[in-house]
Homo-oligomer: A and B are copies of this chain.
Amino acid sequence: MLTTYKAVAKKLPGGLQVETKARTFKIIQDEPKAMGGTDEGMSPVETLLCALGACQVIVGYAYAKFQGVSFEDFHVELEGDIDLDGFKGVKGVRPGFQTIRYNMVFKTNESQEKMEKFAEFIENTCPVGDSLVNGVKLVKAGVIRE
């Protein structure tokens, strides 16, 4: 059975600030001044990294007990590379992330081997990670003029 998640993205007055909402929650996104924004929030590509990191952390905590792994703390450090020439329209250069790298850092007494296996489990189970690795069908349902 499919579960459907929803969001709305709406420009705020001035600059490039965008208010995004899902249910009752809001995130303000923006661009740095060098990109024409007012730098009042993280940029969408940074938000994407945050979605991936949070998803990995949540999967780790949600499944630790089931997977027989214990740790006191777990955080993820992420970085991703984009060639901005793609966004500027240079042919043959993709606008999106080429690679995203991360360290998974556990405070634990478990063995390295056990934690490597658990890290792989997280990668295979994380909905945001799967969306990025295997791609998503994007469908422009409508272009509506008001």
Residues of A within 8 A of B (CB): 1-11, 16, 18, 20-23, 25, 27, 29, 31, 35-37, 41-58, 61-62, 73-87, 89, 94-108, 110, 112, 115-116, 119-120, 123-146
Contacts and interface: CB of A to CB of B under 8 A. Distances in A.
Given A7-B53, A25-B46, A79-B4, A101 B139 contact: yes
A10 B99 contact: no
A1 B93 CA distance: 11
A62 B36 contact: yes
Contacts of A98: 2, 136-137
Contact of A51 (B44, B62, B89, B138): B44
Identical copies in the complex: 2
B144 A138 contact: no
A51 B55 CA distance: 14
A37 B42 CA distance: 24
A44 to B, nearest CB: 4
B7 A49 contact: yes
B42 A141 contact: no
A51 B53 contact: no
A83 B54 CA distance: 19
